[in-house]
Amino acid sequence: MADTQTEPVAAIIDRYNGDPGMLIPMMQDLQAEHGYLPQGELKELSSGLAVPLAQVYSVATFYSSFRLMPKGDHTIQLCMGTVCFLKGAGKIAEAIREQFDLVPGGTSPDRKFTFAPVNCVGACALAPVMVVDGEYYGGLTTDSAVGLLEKIAAGDKPAGEAVVDKSKAAAEKEKKRGVAKKKKAAAGEKKGGGLKKKKKPAAGKKKSGGAKKKKDAGKKKSGGSKKK
């Protein structure tokens, strides 16, 4: 499988003075070279170090960063850390799976993407966050994540930070949820006695947080009255 451009296994072994204790770093280098761990090279590594192939294989399958299959053109690392999870990473994973026929750890049938959900990339301020080919994309929603990947599949590489304005997306979401909650409270009352109108000023009052939100509440209000 290896083309002539790649570094021979012997050179990798030499780099670590043939120390079998450095098996993992050697395999990391091998993977960096090929994008995955080709069988032939693993066998060479095993005989070169006099480490049983079974041990090489057990290491290759134990650590989640090793792959025994070739990689797609683009690698998607979707952060599944606690914060991303709380902010909807699970749904995004599901959407990616459906849209691109990708199972976690797998490569899409068209070899465009390799999908690697990771435990945490440590960029919690941007949650939910996805790293595609080393570029960070934060503040994602299911739609924006899928849209982004479609763009990348089409050959366009959007700049990381520019894709989603995180603060805006978060504010939007908050607004949505905050209002929904109020609505819910009001809806509960309404069922009993039909307290119309009442929650609108309430929603307005709640908006004291920021100018942008306020504007939005106004918009909503007028939307409501138009309806009447």
Partner 1 sequence: MSTVHTTLESANDLQHYRTAVQQRASRVDRIVRVCCGPGCIPKGAREVHRRFAEAAEALDEENVVVEARLTGCQGLCECGPIVTVDPGGIFYQNVKEEDVPEIWRESVVGNRVVERLLYQDEGMDKPARTAEEIPFYRGHRRIALALCGVIDARSMDDYIAAGGYEAVAKVLASMAPEEIIEVITASGLRGRGGGGFLTGRKWQSARNAPGESRYVIANGDEGDPGAFMDRALMEGVPHAVIEGMIIGGYAIGSSDGYIYVRDEYPIAVERLRNAVGQARELGLLGENILGSGFDFDIRLNRGGGAFVCGESTALMASLEGRVGEPRAKYIHTVESGLHEKPSLLNNVETWANVPHIISKGADWYASLGTERSKGTKVFSLVGKVKNTGLVEVPMGMTLREIIFGIGGGIPGDRAFKAVQTGGPSGGCIPAEFLDEPVDFDRLTELGSMMGSGGMIVMDEDTCMVNVAKYFLNFLKEESCGKCTPCREGIAQALHILTNISKGEGQEGDIEKLEALGTLLEDTALCALGKTAAYPVLSTVRYFRDEYEAHIREKRCPAKECPGLFRYEIDPETCTGCRLCAKKCPVDAITGERKEPHVIDQEKCTNCGTCFDACPFSAVIKV
Q: For residues 191-210, which are near partner 1 according to CB under 8 A?
A: 196, 199, 206, 209-210
Task: For 66-78, give the DSSP string.
Answer: --SS---SEEEEE
Show Cβ contacts of residue 37 under 8 Å, excluding neighbours closer than 6 positions: 27, 30, 31, 60, 66, 67, 68
Handedness of CA 199, 202, 208, 214 (dihedral sign): positive
For partner 1, give the closer residue by CB, 155 or 227: 227
Choose which of 14, 58, 111, 201 interacts with partner 1 (CB under 8 A). 58
Residues in 120-149 at the binding interface with partner 1, rule: CB under 8 A:
120-127, 129, 136-138, 141-143
Residue 90 CA to residue 96 CA, distance in Å, equals 10
We find the least distance from the C-beta atom of residue 40 to partner 1, in angstroms, to be: 20
Is residue 224 involved in binding partner 1 (CB under 8 A)? yes
Contact 86, 129 (CB under 8 A): no
Residue 28 CA to residue 106 CA, distance in Å, equals 19
Q: How far apart are the first and last CA of the chain?
A: 69
Only one of the segments 35-43, 106-114, 144-152, 164-172 lies at the binding site for partner 1 (rule: CB under 8 A); that segment is: 164-172
Q: Specify whether the backbone of 106 is left (phi greater than 0), alpha (psi in -120 to 50) or beta.
A: beta
Choose which of 40, 47, 55, 189 interacts with partner 1 (CB under 8 A). 55
Choose which of 7, 43, 71, 83 interacts with partner 1 (CB under 8 A). 83
Is residue 23 involved in binding partner 1 (CB under 8 A)? yes
We find the least distance from the C-beta atom of residue 131 to partner 1, in angstroms, to be: 8
Is residue 225 involved in binding partner 1 (CB under 8 A)? no
For partner 1, give the closer residue by CB, 109 or 119: 119
Is residue 169 involved in binding partner 1 (CB under 8 A)? no
Choose which of 12, 30, 42, 80 interacts with partner 1 (CB under 8 A). 80
| Strand segments (E) across the chain | 74-78, 113-115, 130-132, 135-137
